Amino acid sequence: MAFCRTVWNSLSITPRGDFRLCSLSNDPAQNESVGFDANGQVMNILTHTVEQGINSDKHRAVRLSDVHGDEWHALCSCCEQREQAIDGDPEHFNLSRRLYVNGIVAGNDTVSPINFYNKVDKQGQVSWAPSSIDIHFGNVCNFKCVQCGPQYSNQWYDEWAGVIGLGPNLHSNGFGPNKVMLTKDQHGRWYDANEIKWWESEIWWDKFKAMLPTLEHVYLTGGEPMVLKQHDRLLDEIIASGRADKIRLEYDSNLSVINPRILDRWTKFKNIDLRISIDAIKDKYELIRYGGKWNTLVDNINLVKSYAEQYPSIKIFRLTSCFQITTSHSMIETERWCLENNLPLSIRFVDTPKWHSTISLPRHMKQQLIEFYSRQPEYMVSDMIVKFLQANMDTHEPDEVRRFFKFMNYLDYTRKTDWAKTLPETAAMLRS
Ligand code: SF4
Ligand code: SF4
């Protein structure tokens, strides 16, 4: 498999504090890449060392597969698919996570694409601390985007219980064995009985501070980092260590909240790569990224742009849009808006939940989408979407498509929205 720095130098932490190979590796059959120790216990930041974390069963399995010269490991199918979609082009706007991380993390050791097979023991273990970490500081978020769920947003509990959770699916959301355990309190409100506020423990902060001397890259993502006090403390700990100018921060944020308190801290860092999730524009944005206001987002983008003009280390790296059933026909409109506003766009392909994924659509609907995007080949999204659909032509999940209707109709009821009116082309396709 192609060399990936994440496998050798990085550790991911779930909202529960569990260790994971990587935040992209999401196959339920592989426990969403959550790491287990030799005793079969889930590894967690409060119970295991960081060095144990980057030697989890998942890290070691992929390393050994690298060393044996195997094709892509099953844990890495997301990068494999992305690189197929971009023909492996390392200059492409829509890089795989592997290519992105390889480009920004030099590594605090001598492991490299040409010597990695010498750097590992027979069990796939390495002896260094990670130089890159990716952190989900819990699931507190101020949005409840339609394709999200309780594992990333605590706003989702009621509706998840209402539309998905009845029966065996109530506790099906999350990473590895430690799912979100939706439970009713004495007032009838849903809460997560499995929540662990690991970031409130000095055990975590001591481990984080011990990593700082060799840390190069921190990736922060949802819950929404900008609304979290633990995010502010993380920036302050790095600044206090004197290493901010050596560390790159990378974000996936909804950018609903941004202020000089955060922006001023960012000016001290080596680099900020800010990815802003938009999915779509205007009324479609407000339907899909529920809780968001389009005009607020545009104002906040302009505020970051004004800082970026003064501090080139602060970058709006990408606006991101997920290709899913709700954006089936709006990706070109989104790209056009980004082009008009001189903002770079990248796209992601939703494969879970399956009821939101275009992979679940029947062949004739995929063919309609292929014809729709093939008519406008000048847009970057068109070629990628056509390739993605062509690679998934033979999959059809009729139950998931039915579930999409049930799900969106339920959200219309609770949110007073009208998805079919806001997304008329999607609705027409689904009726065909
Ligand atoms: S190849 Fe991709 S999925 Fe696999 S560990 Fe690297 S970044 Fe994660
Ligand atoms: S902003 Fe991110 S974490 Fe919050 S609901 Fe949307 S997708 Fe989920």
Please check the confidence at residue 419 and state whether its pLDDT lies above 70: yes
Q: Tell me the C-alpha distance between 223 and 406, whole Å.
A: 26
Q: Whose CA is nearest to atom 2 of ligand 2?
A: 222
Percentage of residues of the chain with pLDDT beyond 70: 98
Please state, in angstroms and as integers, the Cα–Cα distance from residue 349 to each residue in 139, 177, 281, 354, following that order.
22, 25, 17, 11
Question: What confidence score (pLDDT) does residue 84 get?
Answer: 83
Q: Has residue 85 been placed in a domain?
A: yes
Task: Give yes or no: residues 171 and 259 share one domain.
Answer: no
Task: Give yes or no: residues 103 and 151 share one domain.
Answer: no
Tell me, using a 6 A CB cutoff, whether residue 223 lines ligand 2.
yes
Question: What confidence score (pLDDT) does residue 141 get?
Answer: 97
Q: Has residue 202 been placed in a domain?
A: no
Task: Give yes or no: residues 236 and 105 share one domain.
Answer: no
Q: Tell me the C-alpha distance between 332 and 312, whole Å.
A: 29
Q: Tell me the C-alpha distance between 341 and 356, whole Å.
A: 28
The ligand placed nearest to the CA atom of residue 139 is: 2
Q: Has residue 201 been placed in a domain?
A: no
Question: Structurally, how many domains does the chain consist of?
Answer: 3
Quick: pLDDT tens for 373-398. Answer: 999 999 999 999 999 999 999 999 99
**Distance, CA 62 to ligand 2 centroid (Å)?**
29
User: Can you tell me which residue has the tokens 């033979």?
Assistant: 394
Pocket test for ligand 1, best of 9, 22, 62 (most atoms within 8 A of CB): 22
Task: Give yes or no: residues 263 and 360 share one domain.
Answer: yes
Task: Give yes or no: residues 281 and 360 share one domain.
Answer: yes
Question: What confidence score (pLDDT) does residue 106 get?
Answer: 77
* Domain-terminating residue out of 102, 119, 136: 136
Please check the confidence at residue 417 and state whether its pLDDT lies above 70: yes
CB count within 10 Å of CB 179 equals 17
Tell me, using a 6 A CB cutoff, whether residue 165 lines ligand 2.
no
Task: Give yes or no: residues 258 and 307 share one domain.
Answer: yes
Task: Give yes or no: residues 400 and 256 share one domain.
Answer: yes
**Which domain range does residue 30 map to?**
5-136
Single-letter amino acid, residue 137: F
Percentage of residues of the chain with pLDDT beyond 90: 79
CA atoms within 13 A on the CB side of 271: 12
Please check the confidence at residue 355 and state whether its pLDDT lies above 80: yes
**Distance, CA 223 to ligand 2 centroid (Å)?**
6
Higher pLDDT: 70 or 341? It is 341
Quick: pLDDT tens for 37-57. Answer: 999 999 999 999 999 999 999
Q: Has residue 105 been placed in a domain?
A: yes
Q: Has residue 190 been placed in a domain?
A: yes
Per the structure block, which two tokens stand in for 166? Answer: 């009845």
Please check the confidence at residue 222 and state whether its pLDDT lies above 70: yes
Please check the confidence at residue 116 and state whether its pLDDT lies above 90: no
Average pLDDT, the chain: 93
Question: What confidence score (pLDDT) does residue 91 get?
Answer: 81
Task: Give yes or no: residues 145 and 17 share one domain.
Answer: no
Please check the confidence at residue 108 and state whether its pLDDT lies above 80: no
Please check the confidence at residue 165 and state whether its pLDDT lies above 80: no
Q: Which residues of 23-57 are buried (b: 16+ CB within 10 A; e: fewer)?
A: bbbbeeebbbbbbbbeeeebbbbeebebbbbbbbb
Pocket test for ligand 2, best of 137, 145, 251, 415 (most atoms within 8 A of CB): 145
- Contact call for residues 382 and 332 (beta carbons, < 8 A): yes
* Domain-terminating residue out of 113, 136, 159: 136
pLDDT band of 153, cuts 50, 70, 90: very high
Tell me, using a 6 A CB cutoff, whether residue 105 lines ligand 1.
no
Q: Has residue 94 been placed in a domain?
A: yes
Question: What confidence score (pLDDT) does residue 406 get?
Answer: 92
pLDDT band of 83, cuts 50, 70, 90: confident
Per the structure block, which two tokens stand in for 85? Answer: 């979609």
* Domain-terminating residue out of 93, 118, 136: 136
Tell me, using a 6 A CB cutoff, whether residue 144 lines ligand 2.
yes
Q: Tell me the C-alpha distance between 331 and 128, whole Å.
A: 42
Task: Give yes or no: residues 24 and 88 share one domain.
Answer: yes
Please check the confidence at residue 168 and state whether its pLDDT lies above 90: no
- Work out the average pLDDT over 67-79: 89
The ligand placed nearest to the CA atom of residue 15 is: 2
Task: Give yes or no: residues 155 and 128 share one domain.
Answer: no
Q: Has residue 366 been placed in a domain?
A: yes
Please state, in angstroms and as integers, the Cα–Cα distance from residue 256 to each residue in 44, 286, 405, 409, following that order.
30, 12, 28, 26
Please state, in angstroms and as integers, the Cα–Cα distance from residue 327 to each residue in 280, 320, 357, following that order.
7, 12, 10
Task: Give yes or no: residues 267 and 330 share one domain.
Answer: yes
Question: What confidence score (pLDDT) does residue 289 get?
Answer: 98
Write down the pTM of the prediction: 0.94
The ligand placed nearest to the CA atom of residue 276 is: 2
Tell me, using a 6 A CB cutoff, whether residue 24 lines ligand 1.
yes
Question: What confidence score (pLDDT) does residue 70 get?
Answer: 83
pLDDT band of 26, cuts 50, 70, 90: confident
- What is the Rg, in whole angstroms, of the alpha carbon atoms belonging to the chain? 21
Pocket test for ligand 2, best of 135, 224, 286 (most atoms within 8 A of CB): 224
**Distance, CA 366 to ligand 1 centroid (Å)?**
28
Q: Tell me the C-alpha distance between 311 and 63, whole Å.
A: 38
Question: What confidence score (pLDDT) does residue 10 get?
Answer: 94
Q: Whose CA is nearest to atom 4 of ligand 1?
A: 76
Quick: pLDDT tens for 260-297. Answer: 999 999 999 999 999 999 999 999 999 999 999 999 99
Q: Has residue 45 been placed in a domain?
A: yes
Which of 426, 425, 361 is closest to 392 using CA atoms?
361
Q: 182-186, 264-268, 337-341: which has the minimum mean pLDDT?
A: 182-186
Task: Give yes or no: residues 152 and 105 share one domain.
Answer: no
Q: What is the 3-state secondary structure (H, E, C) of the chain?
A: CCCCHHHHHEEEECCCCEEECCCCCCCHHHHHHECECCCCCECECCCCCHHHHCCCHHHHHHHHHHHCCCCCCHHHHHHHHHHHHCCCCCCCCCCCHHHHHHHHCCCCCCCCCCCHHHCCCCCCCCCCCCCEEEEECCCCCCCCCCCCCCCCCHHHHHHHHHHCCCHHHCCCCEECCEECCEEECCCCCEEECCCCCHHHCHHHHHHHHHHHHHCCEEEEECCCHHHCHHHHHHHHHHHHHCCHHHCEEEEEECCCCCCHHHHHHHCCCCEEEEEEECCCCHHHHHHHCCCCCHHHHHHHHHHHHHHHHHCCCEEEEEEEEEECHHHCCCHHHHHHHHHHCCCCEEEEECCCCHHHCHHHCCHHHHHHHHHHHHCCCCCHHHHHHHHHHHHCCCCCCHHHHHHHHHHHHHHHHHHCCCHHHHCHHHHHHHHC
pLDDT band of 120, cuts 50, 70, 90: confident
- Work out the average pLDDT over 232-261: 96
